[in-house]
Amino acid sequence: MTEATDLAERAGDRDPRIGLRAVAALRRLLEQLEAVQVRSARHQGWSWQEIAAELGVSRQAVHKKHGRQ
Amino acid sequence: MFERFTKDAREVVRGAVASCQEAGGGTVGPEHLLLALLDREASRGSFALAALGLPVENRQPVREALDEARRRAGLSRADTDALAGLGIDVTAIVSRIEEAHGVGAMSGDRPDRGRRSGRPAFGRDAKSVLETSLRIALAHRDRYIGDEHLLLALTARPGPPAEVLADHGVTHTSLTRVLYSEGEARAG
Rounded-to-integer distance, Cα B43 and Cα B36, Å:
12
End-to-end CA distance of chain A: 62
Instruction: Spell out the domain ranges in chain A.
Output: 2-66
Question: Cβ of A37: how many Cβ atoms within 10 Å?
Answer: 17
CB contact under 8 A, B83 and A25: yes
CB B110 within 8 A of CB B25: no
- CATH code, domain with B136: 1.10.1780.10
In terms of Cα–Cα distance, which of A40, A37, A61, A39 is closest to A49?
A: A61
Domain that holds residue B176: 2-187
Contact residues for A26 (Cβ-Cβ < 8 A; gap 6+): B83, B86, B88
* Number of domains, chain B: 1
Under an 8 A CB cutoff, do A21 and B114 touch?
no
Give the number of other Cβ atoms within 10 Å of residue B89's Cβ.
11
B169-188 pLDDT, tens digit per residue, is 999 999 999 999 865 545 43
Question: For B71-150, where are the E strands, in sequence order?
Answer: 121-122
pLDDT score of A4: 57
Q: Which of A39-43, B65-69, B103-107 shows the lowest mean pLDDT across its residues?
A: B103-107
Per-residue pLDDT at B163: 92
Give B90's contacts in chain A (Cβ within 8 Å).
29
Alpha-carbon gap: A21 to the closest alpha carbon of chain B (Å): 6
Do residue A28 and residue B79 have CB atoms under 8 angstroms apart?
yes
Q: pLDDT tens digit string along B12-48?
A: 999 999 999 888 777 899 999 999 999 999 999 999 9
| Minimal-distance CA residue of chain A relative to B86 | A22
- Tell me how long chain A is: 69
pLDDT digits (tens, 9 = 90+) for B65-78: 999 888 888 888 88
CB spacing of B73 vs A29 below 8 angstroms: yes
